[in-house]
Amino acid sequence: MTPGLQDILDLEQIEVHVFRGRSRPTAATRTFGGEVASQALVAAGRTAPADRPVHSLHAYFLRPGDPGEPILYTVDAIRDGRTFTTRRVVAVQRGEPIFHLSASFAVVEEGFAHQRPQLDAPDPDDLPTAAQTLEHADERSRTWLTRISEAFPLELRFPDELPRFATVRGERRDPHQRLWLRSAQPLDDEPLIHACAATYASDLLLLSSALPPHGVVIDDPGVLLASLDHAVWFHAPFRADEWLLYDQEGTWAGGSRALCRGRFFDRHGTLVASVVQEGLVRVTPRPGSSGTPGSPGE
């Protein structure tokens, strides 16, 4: 049976500050970045006081992970203050660090409250399922979306036409895309698990939001995307096994890198988390081309 998110986030504790995680069986040649980030946050959270939920994480992807090998997570208890707790985690595989995370946990306090962005999307129950979306997609996009649906333990629904569909038709779109998502299986009630599940999902498709203006899609030959650094801020309690809207925008691209922003809203319109990621977006011109990628539908 394919493991769900709860299984992915269930780490083995080897020592007080050392944990071991395993990747899901996959045909991919490198471990999904969201998987490493979410497991590292589990390790950090297991050493933090239970009454201090995580409020932010900042991470760097150093080397590709091997999905066929276990990953060791070593936690450094940097600080335990009166209000804030800080943890640093290094993920190691075959004796080399592949990922570094700093996470901050804090006592819940009362204070000013507002949110500028507002939820403006159709309710997920009014949208077609991912399988129904496949019925209206081109053959190449059907193959891609089927692979996405099978590779990740998440249920997905799309409030708009995915920009990649337009790209395959030879059209260019703004660097923006949205998707409703939730864990495909129920999760435990522990708030840390839901924060880690959202961290897992936060790496899904985010870098691809920078591609629509440039006429390429994530699975084009010669297109290489890789997460470089990643940050998540958690604003309000939520459940990751209930629908969350993930609003993604590629705000800048240049120098073979892109900066993308994401916002998670719950179904009631509360902004529950914000994401920023910089990633490698490298395109190798096709042989005989002028250096500008052609239409991926060619």
Provide the 3-class DSSP secondary structure of residue 203. coil
Residue 227 appears among annotated catalytic residues: yes
Sequence-ordered list of residues with C-beta below 8 angstroms from that of 126, at least 6 positions apart, any chain = none
Q: 104, 183, 203, 241: which one is catalytic?
A: 203
Question: Smallest Cα–Cα separation from 180: which of 127, 227, 243?
Answer: 243
Residue 177 appears among annotated catalytic residues: no
Residue 146 burial class via C-beta count within 10 angstroms: exposed 0-12, middle 13-18, buried 19 and up? middle
Q: 227, 241, 247, 266: which one is catalytic?
A: 227
Q: For tokens 């249920």, what's the residue? A: 155
CB 174 within 8 A of CB 144: no
Q: Hey, how many other C-beta atoms are within 10 angstroms of the C-beta on 193?
A: 23
Residue 132 appears among annotated catalytic residues: no
DSSP string, 8-62: HT-PEEEETTEEEE-PPP-S-SS--HHHHHHHHHHHHHHTS-TTS-EEEEEEEE-
Would you state the structure tokens that stand for residue 101, as one six-digit string?
């995370």
d(CA 253, CA 106): 34
Q: Which residues are known catalytic residues?
A: 203, 227, 277
